[in-house]
Amino acid sequence: MQLIDIGVNLTNPSFADKHQAVLERAYEAGVCQLVLTGTSIEGSEQALELCQHLDEDGQRLFSTAGIHPHSASDWTADSARHLKDLLKQDRVRAVGECGLDFNRDFSPRPQQEKVLEEHLALAVELQLPVFLHERDADQRLLEILRDFRDRLPAAVVHCFTGEKKALFSYLDLDLHIGITGWICDERRGTHLHPLVREIPRGRLMLESDAPYLLPRTLRPKPKNGRNEPAYLTDVLREVALHRGETQEDLAAHSTACARAFFGLPDISD
């Protein structure tokens, strides 16, 4: 059984000097390929460097390049050029993480919207898929995406935590959906239990979002409280339960979906 983690923040400081061990545990758990998330110019460069350093064969590690909406205020006249250079690298398979976050508003909303449009324009130009972030901003995100969708090859709303209306609107726009350990959280994720059944095969992908969102179903819990790609198996188990699928079936179709979305090599035995 193979899994693909489409969103891991391996450049996070909590993983410093632990990259190889984290990856070995992931591979042992069946997570055979990972997409490292870029959330800034510097972070996207670091993600690419980790791919090149930790996977010389170019079969297991890939990355995204983008600026998170929290950091939209950091966008400068040179940002698009730097991003474009990164996005031309073979290991970089998607534009993002980009999007809108009206939950924390760390950057002004008009600036978030402008930077999102810059990312989408790059994705159209380079014909790359988009790795999207959205919190409390589904309607505005949809309005902006509609102007670009026909020209974009694909887009995934990563770490989906929204309600039924948002999910159906995203699916109507032919978007992919990423599910994380949020679904394992009995305090705030139970609304996702019936919703994951509504995501069609070929549109559903799994992700850890490590080191964040440690599955609360995990036993035993790590003393450091840090999530890892190896724990994606708990997300698999919970999603399979609420979709009425076997873990093997869900692993097969979500992995095939991720492989097609990001253009990853098939490393099946």
pLDDT digit string, tens, across residues 251-267? 999 999 999 999 999 98
pLDDT of residue 268 exceeding 80: no
Residue 243 binned pLDDT confidence (cut-offs 50, 70, 90)? very high
Report how far residue 213's alpha carbon sits from residue 75's, in angstroms, rounded to the nearest whole number.
Answer: 27
Single pTM value for the model? 0.97
pLDDT digit string, tens, across residues 53-74? 999 999 999 999 999 999 999 9
Mean residue pLDDT across the chain: 96
pLDDT digit string, tens, across residues 95-143? 999 999 999 899 999 999 999 999 999 999 999 999 999 999 999 999 9
Q: Give yes or no for a cis peptide into 220 (omega within 30° of 0).
A: yes
Report how far residue 208's alpha carbon sits from residue 25's, in angstroms, rounded to the nearest whole number.
Answer: 14
List Cβ neighbours of 220 (8 Å cut-off, separation of 6 or more). Answer: none
Question: Is-contact 255 43, C-beta < 8 A?
Answer: no
pLDDT of residue 90: 96
Q: What is the DSSP letter of 136?
A: S
Report how far residue 25's alpha carbon sits from residue 23's, in angstroms, rounded to the nearest whole number.
Answer: 5
Closest by Cα among 155, 128, 157, 131 to 68: 131
Q: What is the mean pLDDT of residues 147-168?
A: 97
Residue 269 binned pLDDT confidence (cut-offs 50, 70, 90)? low
| Single-letter residue type at 27 | Y
Buried/exposed code over 98-110 (b: 16+ C-beta within 10 A; e: otherwise): bbbbbeeeebeee
Q: What is the DSSP letter of 183?
A: G
DSSP bridge partners of 31:
3
